[in-house]
Every structure is written in C-alpha cells, then in structure tokens.
Amino acid sequence: MNKVKANYTDSLAYYDLAYFLKKYINSTTVIVCIGTDRCIGDCLGPITGSMLKERRFPLPVYGTIQEPIHALNIDKKLEEIKKLHPGSSIIGIDACLGESENIGEIQVRDYPIHPGKGVGKSLPDVGDASIIGIIDSCESSELFTNRNIRLNLVIEMSKVIVHTLIHSYYLYSSETTIIKTKPPFRKKSNL
C-alpha cells in the first residue's frame, strides 16, 4: 500500500499528489466524494464534488453539496454507481481524522477509503484509490463536530484536491495523446 502526502499550504502540493494519482486515473474513472454538508468536519467530500462539477471536470463525479453520499445512503449510492459504470475504477474522496501535527495534510493512496472508521461506523470501502484530507485531530472527543474546525480549512483543502484531480487527468490525457499520435517505428532503408 503506497501513498503520497502534502500539506494544502504547499504551493505545489497538487503537483506531487497529481503525479502519483495519474497511475490510477483514466477515461473511465469515477470520482466518489463522501460526506455531508450538515457538519463542517465532514463536508470536504461534498464541497470537492461540487467544485469539480462547477469546473466541468470531464469524469463522472458523485457526492456533492446538493446530493451528498453519506452514512445513510452510501450502500444504495455505491450500488447505483457500479451499475451505471460497470468495470470502472473509482477514486474515493473523504475527510478524516489524524494526529494534530498532520491537520491540513492531503494524502493520495493506492487503496480504498474506509468511511466511518474514525467515528466507529462500519461502512463499505470506497475506491480503488483514494484521496483523504486530515481536517481534525483524532484526539478530539467531539469527532467531526469540533467547533475549532474552520470552514476555510475545508474549502482550501478542497481547492487543492480539485487542482490535483484536474492536473492528474491532464497528465493522463497528455500521455495518452502522445502514445496515440506517436508515429510508428520505421526501419531506415539502405537505399
């Protein structure tokens, strides 16, 4: 299991994250953003999904502020997504808890998200690859409802994740275009 991480304040965070993610993104990939807009600590996914849709990201995106994917509907939504996009790879996006010194860190991983794990819920894993944003400390007794979580942190982290996905898709598309347009190898004639 591999991952790459960067703090959202690093001006080139998106670049390292995108370069790692490009191995897991292609023209059939589906983006699934998890969370709810009813809690600042859990709205990273829906805000990211809404921003991607607003930017007209070329891949299917599920889980927005308008239509969130959360603990109460995740089973049904994942079933619908898999029926609509059979055989597609999924990149899951979610907020998560971590160590205090890691708040603001974004991780791109080559394994699924385990939503609800940090709050003791057993929900289905999401994604072949995943992006998580550490928005609060796991030391907090008020998991995901801590009044210290600023909406600005979540929005700024979402912007970096959106930039990461856009750049990653660009890297994938560029490589695909180069491969498709590269002229076939021809032997030089001895004439």
β-bridge mates for residue 98, sequence order: 137
Instruction: Work out the burial of residue 144: count CB atoms within 10 Å of its CB; fewer than 13 is exposed, 13-18 middle, 19 or more buried.
Output: buried
CATH at residue 27: 3.40.50.1450
Ordered per-residue pLDDT tens for the chain, 191 residues: 899 999 999 999 999 999 999 999 999 999 999 999 998 989 999 999 999 999 999 999 999 999 999 989 999 999 999 999 999 999 999 999 999 999 999 999 999 998 876 566 778 899 999 999 999 888 755 555 556 789 999 999 999 999 999 999 999 998 876 555 555 555 555 55
- Kindly state whether residue 187 falls inside one of the protein's structural domains: no
Cα 182–Cα 25–Cα 110 angle in degrees, nearest 5 = 130
Segments forming the whole domain that contains residue 165: 3-181
Number of domains in the chain: 1
CA gap 172, 186 in Å, rounded:
26
What pTM did the predictor assign?
A: 0.87
- Kindly state whether residue 58 falls inside one of the protein's structural domains: yes
Give the N- to C-terminal CA distance of the chain in Å, as an integer.
Answer: 54
The candidate with the shortest Cα–Cα distance to 52, out of 150, 128, 164, 133, is 164
Q: Report the 10 Å Cβ neighbour count for 10.
A: 15
- Kindly state whether residue 189 falls inside one of the protein's structural domains: no
- Kindly state whether residue 101 falls inside one of the protein's structural domains: yes
- Kindly state whether residue 162 falls inside one of the protein's structural domains: yes
- Kindly state whether residue 191 falls inside one of the protein's structural domains: no
Helix (H, G, I), strand (E, B) or coil at 1: coil
